[in-house]
Amino acid sequence: MSVADYMTQDLVTVRPTTRINDAVDLMKKNDIHRLPVLDSGRLVGLITEGIIQSALPSKATSLSVFEANYLLNKTTVADVMEKDVQTISPDAVLEDAIYAMRKYNIGVLPVVNGAELVGIITNNDIFDAFLNISGYGRGGTNVTVYVEKDELGFIAKLGETLASHKYNILTLMVTKRVHDQAIEIHVDSEDTVGVKNALTAAGFKV
């Protein structure tokens, strides 16, 4: 799966000259937490709720309410935005996005194709991708099969066994563990007992 498959393409953006108060209003109106900053169509920064919170006057400030509001009205996105923005290509695989988010401890990556901003992918988009890939919410049965070592043709044998009992695999994921591998299968039948019995009878460890 690529970043393009799960990124948000309908973007809300701001300019460097946008006032902080206006950026906050945009976030509330669109129920979003981050805004890419564009200048003449080019990505120049990113502003988030956290950045804005940091820019707000402290409760311990000596400024009056009127002075604080005046300061906020004068503050623009360019004054506080993150300028060193990590980006990713729409052709990158999801694993690349996850790695970048973990490496840089961030929750969002603007998606750029050359110099053009074409989308944005967030940690919530990654969660949605995982739920989709795992088949969550589609009904059917999840069964985990365990194998101690890589075995040529193991997955093919698994599929043939299920097909011979009229069970269709919807999704399949392999997780390497310390001493074995766990193969999680999502099939289109609600007959959990029947699926497990078919696999056990064929010699699989369930």
**CB-based contacts of 141: which residues, under 8 Å, 6+ apart?**
186, 187, 189, 190, 191, 192, 195
**How far apart, in whole angstroms, are the C-alpha atoms of residue 82 and residue 98?**
20
Q: How confident is the model at residue 58 (pLDDT cuts 50, 70, 90)?
A: low
Q: How confident is the model at residue 68 (pLDDT cuts 50, 70, 90)?
A: low
Q: Which of 38-42, 58-62, 115-119, 141-145 has the lowest mean pLDDT?
A: 58-62
User: 186, 138 in Cβ contact below 8 A?
Assistant: yes
**Mean pLDDT in residue range 30-50:** 94
Q: Give the per-residue pLDDT at 201.
A: 96
Q: Give the per-residue pLDDT at 61.
A: 53
User: 186, 144 in Cβ contact below 8 A?
Assistant: no
Q: Give the per-residue pLDDT at 136.
A: 82
pLDDT digits (tens, 9 = 90+) for 100-148: 999 999 999 999 998 899 999 999 999 999 988 888 888 899 999 999 8
Task: Fill in the DSSP letter of residue 90.
Answer: T
pLDDT digits (tens, 9 = 90+) for 175-195: 988 889 999 999 999 999 999
pTM, entire model: 0.78
Q: Give the per-residue pLDDT at 64.
A: 52
> Is the pLDDT assigned to residue 56 strictly greater than 80?
no
Residue 130, both tokens:
């995982």
**CB-based contacts of 195: which residues, under 8 Å, 6+ apart?**
141, 143, 162, 165, 167, 187, 189
Measure Cα distances from 176 to 11, 43, 141, 182 in Å.
37, 39, 21, 6
Q: How confident is the model at residue 60 (pLDDT cuts 50, 70, 90)?
A: very low
What mean pLDDT value characterizes the chain? Answer: 90
Q: Which of 62-66, 118-122, 161-165 has the lowest mean pLDDT?
A: 62-66
Domains of the chain: 3-131 (3.10.580.10), 135-201 (3.30.2130.10)
Task: Fill in the DSSP letter of residue 178.
Answer: S
Q: Give the per-residue pLDDT at 67.
A: 58
